[in-house]
Amino acid sequence: MLALAFLQWWYGPGWFRAWNSLGARLKRTYYGFSVPQLSRTLFAPWRRIVSLGGGSLGERMRAMVDNLVSRCVGLVVRLLTLFAAAVIIVWWIVIAIGQLVIWPLVPFAAIILIVRGVS
């Protein structure tokens, strides 16, 4: 009776729970890396470092170059972070596909290992 209840759970709610855990992992990674915020602020200055130009043309040019460098640094850091998030999300998807393929075979593997161990 216990084995039947286990198999009923394994191929029913257990399998769906494994699938739902993938969604939770993806969501946690997506928001953990702040993907929406990084996408919105992709070209924002790094750490809000902004130079205000003075009255002369030289000071304005220096401020413009400083602001451009700050935005480039922000872009590079945010792109690298988004790339890392994408790699981890793809990794979770690969793990989940493997898990969902192996999931139905695990009870059979247990039976096979018991039979091989006895003989």
**Extents of the domains making up the chain:** 19-118
Cβ(33)–Cβ(84) under 8 Å? yes
**Exposure letters 78-116 (e unless 16+ CB within 10 A, then b):** beeebeebeebbeebeeebeeeeeeeeeeeeeeeeeeee
pLDDT in tens, 71-115: 899 899 999 999 999 999 999 999 999 998 998 999 889 889 889
Measure the CA angle with vertex 45, ends 88 and 86; round to 5°: 10
pLDDT in tens, 13-61: 988 898 889 889 999 999 999 999 999 988 888 777 677 777 788 888 8
